[in-house]
Structures are given as structure tokens and as C-alpha cells.
Amino acid sequence: MNDDVNLLYTDVETALRESVSDLLTARCSPEKVIAVFDGDREIQPKLWRSLALDLGLAGLLVPEERGGAGASAREAAVVLEELGRFAAPVPFLTSSVIASAALLHAGDDRLLATVASGERTAAVVVPFSTAPNDLRPTVRADGQGALNGRVTSVAGALEADVLLVPVAAQDGVELHAVEAGAASVTPVVSMDMTRQLADVDLDAAPGTRVVEAGGDTAVRGALELGAALIASEQLGVAQWCLDTTVSYLRERTQFGRSVGGFQAIKHRLADLYVTTESARAAARYAAATAADEDSDRHVAALMAKSYCSEAAVRAAEECVQLHGGIGMTWEHPAHLYLKRAKADQIALGNPQAARRQLGELVDLPMPPAGSTA
């Protein structure tokens, strides 16, 4: 671990957080997010347009000389904390983080500029559960360069204007750009409908080769950045659950006193506070090492993905339970955060896989894959 990494929030990051929070407070109420689960998706394009264009988040990670805002992973992490805190249904992670990082690695400035400007939205066509070291392209190109294949459970594909498709080629993995209209994108029932997954079918779809052999390096690098930064979204989920639960337990009375005053409840909240603050340290370290391209960033990403995944789920479960009956109802927003936490838990590699990789790095014997131990 690099002791020189600064985990504190800078003034710039605090100002960015306030801007994002103010906009989400005005336009992303829990009622509007719940409506997304009921099939009302009107909020999504309007909200994303405001974030992408008014606040310039579409190109946050893209250098200024290549058409973006020139911010680092630290600022993107702060944005994701707020998006997690509101369970916001926008494609920032899939387009502005993962797809933009893939295009940056690939060196495609033309397409990158359109994504950075917010003019277009992009998505990398891999199953959302794909860990950075587990990329296995199933799409192939025929003799004329047309793409054929099927990729299931892709995040961001429904909102995307352009699909970035890893293609298995004779000399390695290529990365192709396909107009979304040239593919069949079928929504699937997802636990978290604010980030709905879709199956992508390519049937002789015309594509443009973004990078030849070596595309796997671009995609793996993008997925690793995504895995490092999704920890900040999970931190935002955990923070909302903690804050909302504490507020509720202060107001809710039983037997003539505040429910939060009972010692057993205090202990649970104290444990949850420690869990959330520990998640903050892990997420901030992953974002900071990614921003600095520190040599410890690979380990930091695995640590953050492993710890924050389970911290968010635990916070959401405690939130639902400590809210008693109302936590189980459709009208209360607690279920939004439980679903986001559970979906994020297995996104970009699950915690068990991350711990296995960490164990391998230090030659620690690990149980066989698939073992429950």
C-alpha cells in the first residue's frame, strides 16, 4: 500500500459533489426512480442530458486536448458516490467511464470526442459480470468484416448510440464500433431496473475496426477502471442507507422512546458506520491510485471491489430491516438501494473472484473455484 496517497476530498471534488447533488436533488427524487421500475423511463434521457451537458460529466475523464473535461478518476469517483446515493438511472459508469476508457486506450479520438461531448452514448458489449481478467469475446467477423454473435446481459446497451464490441480474431482481440441500430438489442428483466441489462445480437452487422490485435488490453484496462470506480457508487449506496436509517430511527418511537436509543440498535448502527467508513477508505484508495496510475492500482481495485460490494449489500439489508415494515414496501425507496447493491455486487467480477486474485498475488492458497468456503 502506498502511504503517500491522499484519501481526503479536495475543494474541487467537494464543489463537484455539490453540483451533482443539487441537480439530482431537483430532478431525481425517489418517486421518479421508482417509476422507472414501473416502466416509466421518461426521466432517464432528460436527467442524463442535464448531467452530461450542463455539468459536463459525459467527458469528465477525457483529457481537454481530446475534447473532454480533463478530470481524473478521483473526480469520477465523487460523481459515482452521488449517483449511488440517489440510485440515479444514468449511463455515466457504462459510457463516460468504461466506454470512454476503452476509446482512450484504443486511441480513437473521433468517436471519443462525440462521446465526451455528450452527443452520443457508448457501451462496451461484454456481460456486465465480466471481471477485467476474464474477457472472453464471443463475437467474430466474417470475410467481409461483418460481425456475428450474441452477448448477453450487457449494461448500457439500451441507452447507447454506439456499441464497442470485442471481437475474437485470429491474431487476438479486436475492438469494433457498431451503430446501435445495426444490432438487435433486447432488454432483459434485471434486478436493478435503473441499470437495465440487455442481450445484444449481431447478425452480419457492419462495424468499424477501432483497434486491431491488442483490443483486449484496451477493454481490460477499461473494465479494471470500472471495477475500481464502481466501489465509489457502492459507497454512495451504503452512505444513503446509513444516513436514512439513522434519521428514521431518531424519529421512530416505541415504548415511549426513540427506537435508536435502544442499545442493541446503537451497536448495529455503530457497526454499519465503521463498515461504511472502511468502504470509503477502500474506494478512495482505488480511485486515487487509478488517477495517479500508481503501481498499486491493480491491488487497490481488487480490494475495493471485494470490500465495497459486500459493504453496500450489508448496509442495504440493514436499512430494509431497521425500517421495519415500511422498508419492505414498494413505495419506500429502500428496495431501490438493495437492488442496486445486489446488482453491483456481481458487476465487473464478484467479491469472491477478487479475493481469489488477491490471494494469488501473495501466493496464498485459496479454495477451488466454486467452493463455498
* 199 or 144, which is more confident: 199
Bridge partners of residue 298, in order along the sequence:
none
Residue 243 lies in a domain: yes
pLDDT digits (tens, 9 = 90+) for 15-30: 999 999 999 999 999 9
pLDDT, position 370: 60
pLDDT digits (tens, 9 = 90+) for 138-196: 999 998 889 999 999 999 999 999 999 999 998 889 999 999 999 999 999 999 999 99
Residue 261 lies in a domain: yes
pLDDT at 369 over 70: no
Q: Which domain holds residue 347?
A: 217-361
Q: How confident is the model at residue 372 (pLDDT cuts 50, 70, 90)?
A: low
pLDDT digits (tens, 9 = 90+) for 80-90: 999 999 999 99
The CATH number covering residue 315 comes to 1.20.140.10
> Does the pTM exceed 0.85?
yes
Of the listed ranges 33-42, 51-60, 242-251, 296-305, the least confidently predicted one is 33-42
Residue 159 lies in a domain: no
Residue 201 lies in a domain: no
Return d(Cα 100, Cα 107) in angstroms, integer.
10
Q: Average pLDDT of the chain?
A: 94
DSSP characters over 102-141:
HHHHHT-HHHHHHHHTTSS-EEE-SBTT--TT-----BEE
Calculate mean pLDDT across residues 236-250. 98
Bridge partners of residue 168, in order along the sequence:
173
CB-based contact 84:236 (threshold 8 Å): yes
Residue 94 lies in a domain: no
Residue 23 lies in a domain: no
Residue 146 lies in a domain: no
Count of the separate structural domains present in the chain: 1
Residue 157 lies in a domain: no
Bridge partners of residue 208, in order along the sequence:
177
